[in-house]
Chains A and B, each alone.
Chain A
């Protein structure tokens, strides 16, 4: 049982390049989330998907797009990377509406130069 997996683990981009971060969970969870974590800022929600077929903006959605491909997979796309998007990105999932435990993937460390 892998839980939540993310690819890639590390990535370096040049300003203006695009990329997609992949996330998958095998726990049959309905809700999935993308966060970014910067020093001293805590985790900030970028986008979330309460269920398959729905996505909503979180606290810091600008510069990102998401796709809930199916129940298992939730991807995050940077269309034109900027240095301000240098961060650690975590994907998370949770099972039911009354379960607050979020299970996190191992993270993607992204540097934009």
Chain B
């Protein structure tokens, strides 16, 4: 079983749609959670951290459910520029800044 699992997609949505991605992780000792974004043939970049209380950054909302070991990312009012692969990332147990990456969910926003 992979430590961090994501639906690979692709999710094909029209501009303006709301789309949600989910992620599950297996290590209950993981302390910190993130979403990274990776454009085609580019390097990953941090999109946002995920806090227990849930957090929002503009059109993006991240939620964490520690009991179910589940993380989500909601994108409202999708833009063409949101087309990318979204990587769910968790720390390795309680080991500082060591990260485990999910395989990514690909989003394609169409006009």
Chain A interface residue count, Cβ-Cβ cutoff 8 angstroms: 21
Tell me whether A106 and B43 are in contact (CB under 8 A): yes
A-chain residues with CB within 8 Å of residue B103 when the two chains form the complex: 40-42
A-chain residues with CB within 8 Å of residue B45 when the two chains form the complex: 104
Chain B interface residue count, Cβ-Cβ cutoff 8 angstroms: 21
Q: Which of B10-18, B72-80, B92-100 contacts A (4 or more CB under 8 A)?
A: B92-100
Interface membership of B25, Cβ < 8 A: no
Quick one: CB contact mask for B38-53 with A, threshold 8 Å, 1 for yes? 0000111110010000
Tell me, in angstroms, the Cα distance from A9 to B97 when the chains sit together. Answer: 26
Tell me whether A99 and B97 are in contact (CB under 8 A): yes
Tell me whether B87 and A42 are in contact (CB under 8 A): yes
Tell me, in angstroms, the Cα distance from A31 to B97 when the chains sit together. Answer: 9
A100-B34, A100-B49, A100-B91 are known contacts. Are A45 and B43 too (CB-CB below 8 A)? no
**B97 touches which one: A35, A42, A43, A94 (CB < 8 A)?**
A94
Tell me whether B97 and A104 are in contact (CB under 8 A): no
| B5 closest partner in A (C-beta) | A42
A-chain residues with CB within 8 Å of residue B87 when the two chains form the complex: 42-43
Tell me, in angstroms, the Cα distance from A44 to B103 when the chains sit together. Answer: 10
CB distance from B105 to the nearest CB of A (A): 11
Instruction: Name B's A-contacting residues (CB within 8 A).
Output: 2, 4, 8, 32, 34, 42-46, 49, 87, 91, 96-99, 101-104
8 A–B pairs (Cβ distance < 8 Å), ordered by A: A40-B103, A42-B2, A42-B87, A43-B87, A48-B98, A90-B44, A94-B97, A104-B44
